[in-house]
């Protein structure tokens, strides 16, 4: 009797497991599915959704989004192994030092040229045209503070710097090249520097806990908390222009993808990206709906082909 109970339970468990095998979620996807990778930030997820919507609209391929990948290196590994066909958002600065292991370059065009060439040569991947926004580190203050002291550029802060507190990303402070050491050499030192999680700096500036913060330029919270982004007048921060990266194999199979990337080229400004991020991060909208809404609003960029050569 007991024997039967335990055999029965075991059989049921096994059956559930076997039934699970054929589930779309866990089973390996079919070969005509294009796998698009995205990272943890809302930005990359929104853009992955945009690409997915456009690809499904233009081709007969299915898409599958692999989201929340830990870092650009994880994305890069995934591309090299063929687990991903496209990564939605890669930044020139990140991959210059990450995937390519080179020194930071401050000229945006030179940086773009290098990643385009090196990805083609080394990895047989195409670095797509930029979306038009970047996600660099930027120095930000409250609008109020900027108005009061007439500050537009980072250099304008110099006379006050000794009395100012500076809230920065944990990982930035010890970074070589474009970290705080380099910043002090190029600009000046602040009175006190507080490393913290990047998600906290915006609120810290808005509530007055910090006078100056180092923010991500495309973050929606810049808009939410009414922060002013200061111009990097000595060109210290390397560019982090965003582009999709596609393997050449999938481009050959679906040439339409090149066309889709061209149509999205220079269509999303940093301000627009801030707004899209705001919808996802602050209004808690689903990335898919954010992407859908944006594309519908712009008629899927169908007219863009004419404008951009």
Residues that bind another protein (CB under 8 A): 1-3, 5-6, 9, 13-14, 16-17, 20, 23, 25-26, 37, 40-42, 66-70, 74, 77-78, 81-84, 199, 202-203, 220-221, 224, 280-282, 284, 286
Sort strands 227-229 and 137-142 into parallel, antiparallel or unpaired: antiparallel
When the beta carbons of 77 and 258 are compared against another protein, the nearer one is 77
**Which DSSP state fits 105?**
-
Sort strands 242-247 and 192-196 into parallel, antiparallel or unpaired: unpaired
Using CB atoms within 10 Å of the CB of residue 81, give its burial: 0 to 12 exposed, 13 to 18 middle, 19+ buried: exposed
When the beta carbons of 58 and 83 are compared against another protein, the nearer one is 83
Within 8 A by CB and 6+ apart from 140, the residues are 205, 212, 213, 214, 215, 222, 227, 228, 229, 230
* Residue 251, SS3 per DSSP: helix
| 3-state percent breakdown (helix, strand, coil) of the chain, nearest 5 | 50, 20, 30
When the beta carbons of 5 and 306 are compared against another protein, the nearer one is 5
Distance of closest approach, residue 30 Cβ to another protein, in angstroms: 14
Distance of closest approach, residue 73 Cβ to another protein, in angstroms: 9
- The Cα 306–Cα 265 span in angstroms is 12
Distance of closest approach, residue 31 Cβ to another protein, in angstroms: 15
When the beta carbons of 184 and 286 are compared against another protein, the nearer one is 286
Distance of closest approach, residue 138 Cβ to another protein, in angstroms: 18
Distance of closest approach, residue 38 Cβ to another protein, in angstroms: 9
- The Cα 238–Cα 104 span in angstroms is 6
When the beta carbons of 6 and 299 are compared against another protein, the nearer one is 6
Cα dihedral sign for 287, 293, 299, 303? negative
Which helix (H) or strand (E) segment holds residue 184: the answer is helix 180-186
Distance of closest approach, residue 114 Cβ to another protein, in angstroms: 26
- The Cα 16–Cα 196 span in angstroms is 45
Distance of closest approach, residue 55 Cβ to another protein, in angstroms: 18
When the beta carbons of 116 and 224 are compared against another protein, the nearer one is 224
When the beta carbons of 102 and 282 are compared against another protein, the nearer one is 282
* Residue 1, SS3 per DSSP: coil
């Amino acid at each position: 009797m007991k024997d039967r109970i335990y055999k029965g339970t075991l059989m049921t468990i096994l059956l559930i497991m076997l039934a699970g095998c054929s589930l779309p979620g866990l089973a390996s996807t079919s070969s005509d599915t294009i796998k698009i990778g995205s990272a943890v930030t809302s930005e990359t997820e929104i853009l992955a959704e945009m690409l997915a919507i456009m690809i499904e609209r233009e081709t007969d391929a299915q898409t599958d989004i692999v989201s929340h990948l830990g870092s650009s290196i994880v994305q890069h590994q995934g591309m090299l192994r063929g687990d991903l066909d496209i990564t939605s958002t890669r930044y020139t600065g990140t991959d210059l030092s990450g995937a390519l292991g080179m020194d930071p370059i401050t000229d945006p065009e030179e940086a773009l040229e290098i990643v385009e060439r090196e990805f083609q040569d080394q990895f047989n991947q195409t670095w797509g045209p930029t979306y038009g926004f970047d996600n660099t580190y930027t120095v930000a203050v409250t609008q109020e503070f900027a108005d009061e002291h007439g500050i537009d550029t980072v250099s304008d802060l110099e006379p006050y710097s000794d009395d100012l507190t500076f809230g920065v990303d944990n990982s930035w402070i010890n970074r070589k090249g474009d970290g705080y050491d380099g910043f002090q050499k190029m600009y000046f030192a602040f009175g006190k520097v507080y490393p913290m999680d990047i998600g906290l700096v915006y609120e810290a500036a808005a509530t007055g806990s910090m006078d100056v913060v180092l923010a991500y330029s495309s973050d929606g919270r810049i808009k939410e908390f009414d922060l002013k982004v200061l111009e990097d007048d000595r060109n210290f921060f390397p560019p982090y222009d965003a582009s999709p990266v596609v393997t050449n194999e999938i481009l050959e199979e679906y040439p339409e993808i090149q066309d889709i990337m061209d149509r999205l080229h220079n269509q999303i400004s940093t301000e627009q990206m801030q707004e899209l991020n705001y919808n996802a991060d602050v209004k808690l909208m689903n990335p898919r709906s954010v992407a859908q809404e944006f594309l519908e609003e712009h008629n899927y960029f169908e007219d863009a082909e004419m404008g951009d050569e």
